[in-house]
Amino acid sequence: MPTITQLEYLLAVDNEKHFGRAAMDCHVSQPSLSTQIQKLEEELNVIIFDRSKKPIIATEVGLAIIEQARVVIHEHKKIHAIANQGSKEPRGKFDLAVIPTLAPYLIPLFVGEFSKNNPKVNLKINEYKTEDIVKLLINDEIDAGLLVTPLEDERIIERHLFYEPFHIYVSEDHYLSKKKNITEADLDTNSLWILEEGHCFREQVLKVCSSDKSHSVLPNVEFTSGNLETLKNLVKKNSGFTLLPELAALDLSSIESEKHLRRFKKPAPTREVSLVHSRSFLKENVIQAIEDEILKNLPKRVRSLKRQDIEIIDIY
């Protein structure tokens, strides 16, 4: 009979397509993991992984076994979740994924208070892009995600948290720096610094700028970044502009804001931020505690936004 540990190793190899990385994910040595996978194959009298392929792929029968292993692991986790739900106090392990354009700005606002108020919760937070968060949720590899919605995915439950307006971060020599109450028609993508492909914020920015592609700001330099702070520094030290969500502009000094930050005319383009989980979710008391701490620690100007003052930008 396969053990839970063997099935967890099996899923790790399938996810990583590499024995070494799977072993690192499971915090064991590669020989230990490989031995357990081999024992499982011998017990079942099948080959689960084709090791001659690079990256490693599952055989036809292996795919069926892996799919069933996901079901078994999911049901195994439910036992612990049900037990923890019996306690009024949030407790247990909780894996939370956050998109990169939210994590540096939102997590510091609430994680300290959450830790203090929920000492029996072992909260693990990682950054992933939206597409990866959805896959991890569906595969039951994380408990919840903080990302931009609506996803319009029937497999996912979305718990709306707040709206986050966009602002323009502009160089001092740029024409936008002289304007107030900027409209979307004022934006020129020829001077726009933008995130690399794969970020939902990139797609929203291109929609705001009425463009399906970005251009190089410097004629002989092509640059991509997954970090808003990098884009801010490129604008500040060179030329052009970028868009920032509200939380990314919170820590700007009054001097920097005056020099570089410009606001949109109402209704301002805005993104919707939600806490999401799969439909089979059981850890309600923990996710409610996370939601409560986020809402309690949001800046007042975010909490007090009026729906008529914003325009929600879709992510697809």
Give the pTM: 0.75
pLDDT tens track for 119-143 = 999 999 999 999 999 999 988 889 9
User: Has residue 48 got a pLDDT over 90?
Assistant: yes
With bands split at pLDDT 50, 70 and 90, how would you rate the model's confidence at 211?
A: low
Structural domains for the chain: 4-83 (1.10.10.10), 89-162+271-307 (3.40.190.10), 164-269 (3.40.190.10)
Note the pLDDT tens digit of each residue in 141-160. 899 999 999 998 888 999 99
Is pLDDT of 115 > 90? Answer: yes
Confidence of residue 85 (pLDDT cuts 50, 70, 90): low
Distances (CA, A) of 187 to 2, 121, 175, 240: 59, 45, 10, 11
> Could you tell me the pLDDT band of residue 217, with boundaries at 50, 70 and 90?
low
pLDDT at 87 > cutoff 70: no
Instruction: Name residue 221's amino acid.
Output: V
Contact call for residues 135 and 107 (beta carbons, < 8 A):
no
Model confidence at 86: pLDDT above 70: no
